[in-house]
Amino acid sequence: MPREDPLLEISDLRTHFFTREGTVRAVDGVSLTVPRGKTVCVVGESGCGKSVTARSVLGLVDEPGRIVSGEIWWRRRGQEPVNLAQLGPRSEEMRRVRGGEISMVFQEPMASLSPMYTIGDQLVEAIRMHLPLTQEQARERATDLLRRAGIPRAEERLDAYSFQLSGGMCQRVMIAIALAADPALLIADEPTTALDVTTQARIIDLLRDLQAETGMSVLFITHDLGVVAEIADEVVVMYLGTVVERGGVDEIFHDPKHPYTNALLGSIPRMGAGAGRRLATIRGNVPHPSDRPAGCPFHPRCDAAIGGVCDVSDPPHIVFGEARSVRCVLHDDVHRSSAAEVRA
């Protein structure tokens, strides 16, 4: 059965930063889809381009960066699809999409809220920007949103300032603001990274509940594989500006195809697996995006790299199914005979 058209489809997106020292290819040919009502996790280490990908969707790429090529198709039900990559960051249309149809929650909840305005002011502003409501109606909706985001004594909190709330509470406020206009897609960029485990668990529960309640899609960006395992339906693994592997959450964790995914899973401590065990490591460091290796970006750190192949030509894009693909020569039939088996 063919899948329904995805809500968001990014194809071959390239976002480069033109700095004085040279061009940084932060996002270099990323393709991914977000199906309706699903959670897609983008996972990767620092510098892999996961945040820039998310920001490109909303036209939030800072100078000197810009989208060089590629398409970002936004498909609302019953409406013509729009290519967000073509819209100006300040255009009327983009402003309607941003915050209205697609909203975003950032990593630092304290830094994302203004300390000069009350929580209520900021919520009401977001609501009235997108919905034709009076001040009173908007305030009512604001209280309701705070309550849905799990904030006790919501009415009183409307008059609080961000610095009077804990980090977890601020993140709940950010989520309430993001839900202000009932978005079809919520982009969450490391929303729990700055929080304690106990708070993180509750924010993840909240996002899961809100998604079940509203049917929205979630694009969740994180570096934490534990969080991915908790919340994802589908996973996109990125390394140095490219997608190296895509798959369902169970496939990624139990049948990883790319050596990087495999190595990443091997290098995280697993609770209950016995203490004191040495961890498998990935040699070397993540290179800076401005000095990316030729060929496959992972080849200098890859144990399965084939000299003369991986360091010369770009890895092939092998598609196994609708949402399952890998960029690695090891899964290419032409090279399979010469390649070592990577699965551990």
Which residues form the interface with another protein (CB under 8 A)? Answer: 45-46, 166, 168-169, 196-202, 204-205, 223-230, 232, 249-250, 253-254, 263-265, 267-282, 285-286, 288, 301
Which of 242, 324, 308 has the alpha carbon at shortest distance from 48?
242
For another protein, the closer of residues 95 and 202 by Cβ is 202
CB of 114 to another protein, least distance (A): 21
For another protein, the closer of residues 268 and 319 by Cβ is 268
CB of 204 to another protein, least distance (A): 7
For another protein, the closer of residues 11 and 112 by Cβ is 112
Which of 70, 106, 101, 76 has the alpha carbon at shortest distance from 243?
70
Q: From CA 261, how far away is CA 173, in angstroms rounded?
A: 34
| Cβ(219)–Cβ(54) below 8 Å | yes
Phi and psi at 65, nearest 5°, equal -90, 150
CB of 293 to another protein, least distance (A): 15
Residue 78, by phi and psi: left (phi above 0), alpha (psi -120 to 50) or beta?
A: left
| Cβ(210)–Cβ(175) below 8 Å | yes
CB of 52 to another protein, least distance (A): 17
Q: From CA 182, how far away is CA 137, in angstroms rounded?
A: 16
For another protein, the closer of residues 91 and 166 by Cβ is 166
CB of 298 to another protein, least distance (A): 10
For another protein, the closer of residues 45 and 311 by Cβ is 45
| Cβ(249)–Cβ(235) below 8 Å | yes
| Cβ(183)–Cβ(177) below 8 Å | no
CB of 230 to another protein, least distance (A): 5
For another protein, the closer of residues 127 and 296 by Cβ is 296
Q: From CA 263, how far away is CA 268, in angstroms rounded?
A: 9
Q: From CA 53, how far away is CA 57, in angstroms rounded?
A: 7
| Cβ(214)–Cβ(207) below 8 Å | no
Which of 293, 286, 340 has the alpha carbon at shortest distance from 314?
293
Which of 303, 216, 235 has the alpha carbon at shortest distance from 263?
303
For another protein, the closer of residues 46 and 79 by Cβ is 46
CB of 209 to another protein, least distance (A): 12
For another protein, the closer of residues 72 and 282 by Cβ is 282
For another protein, the closer of residues 8 and 264 by Cβ is 264
Q: From CA 334, how far away is CA 161, in angstroms rounded?
A: 61
CB of 248 to another protein, least distance (A): 9
Q: From CA 12, how far away is CA 212, in angstroms rounded?
A: 30
CB of 116 to another protein, least distance (A): 23
Bond prior to 269 in cis (omega within 30° of 0): no
